[in-house]
Amino acid sequence: MLYGIISDIHSNLEALDVVLNKLYRAEQLICLGDIVGYGPNPNECVEKIKELNIPTVAGNHDKAVTGEMEVTWFNRSAREAVFWTQKELSEKNLEYLKTLPEVLEEDDFQIVHGSLRSPIEEYVTSISEALPTFEKMTKPLCFIGHSHVPLFIALKKDGNYDGRMLGDGEEILVEDYEKVIINVGGVGQPRDGDPRASYGIYDSKTKIFTLHRVEYNIEQVQEKMKVAGLPQPLIDRLHFGR
């Protein structure tokens, strides 16, 4: 099966639409959480995910917006965006976010927003941070989000580890490794210095994952954010991908 893997949409409808158009050949779409937060179109993004019946796990912003997670550890801009989103979201969409599970499984991979040890909150950005998730993996592959930085971390068949950030077009042959963790980057707010939306395609027949980047209308999103009164740092960072 050909899977389209997306994560961290963050209410960025323009980026989501472009990515979904690129994934027209995918037989199944998967979302790794944080549909909302930061951006100007929370209702539209949630409704897209619902309309397409995309299996989705909860992210920390999804949980913060529903009131199921404290925002005291969010930075000021993130907190303001959460409060704005809470006012904007319809009751039906809030209820949908409350139903999202923390972990899901497909035939040969698991999906989670943060980590398998702490599904909502923990970042996995290094080999040491990946170790608890490797221990909890029941499949050879786990897709994660949360950091908005595309990367892979792998347990090699000789017991050593490998890992690096992933660039546009890079492929990972999962069968080369004992276990693999892959972050597909962020659709709506990349943080690796590349402002283009990030997503992945996984072919379960060939066991090959490919990372992809695509341009979208950043200026249009920024203008919507300005009109909505969202914090300027959130507007600015879309241009820099940081």
For 12-66, what is each residue's pLDDT tens digit? 999 999 999 999 999 999 999 999 999 999 999 999 999 999 999 999 999 999 9
The enclosing H or E element of 153 equals: strand 151-156
Q: Which CATH class is domain 2-240?
A: alpha beta
* Predicted confidence band of residue 88 (pLDDT cuts 50, 70, 90): very high
Rounded Cα distance, 44 and 28, in Å: 20
Ordered by start, the domain boundaries in the chain are: 2-240
Integer-rounded Cα radius of gyration of the chain: 17
Rounded Cα distance, 226 and 230, in Å: 6
Give the burial class of 17: count Cβ atoms within 10 A of its Cβ; 0-12 exposed, 13-18 middle, 19 or more buried: middle
Residue (of 3, 7, 33, 4) closest to 184 by Cα position:
7
Report the length, in residues, of the chain.
Answer: 242
- What is the model's pTM? 0.96
Decide: helix, strand or coil at residue 74: coil
Q: Would you say residue 179 has pLDDT above 90? A: yes
pLDDT recorded at residue 73: 85
What is the torsional sign of CA 7, 9, 14, 17? positive
What is the torsional sign of CA 29, 79, 235, 152? negative
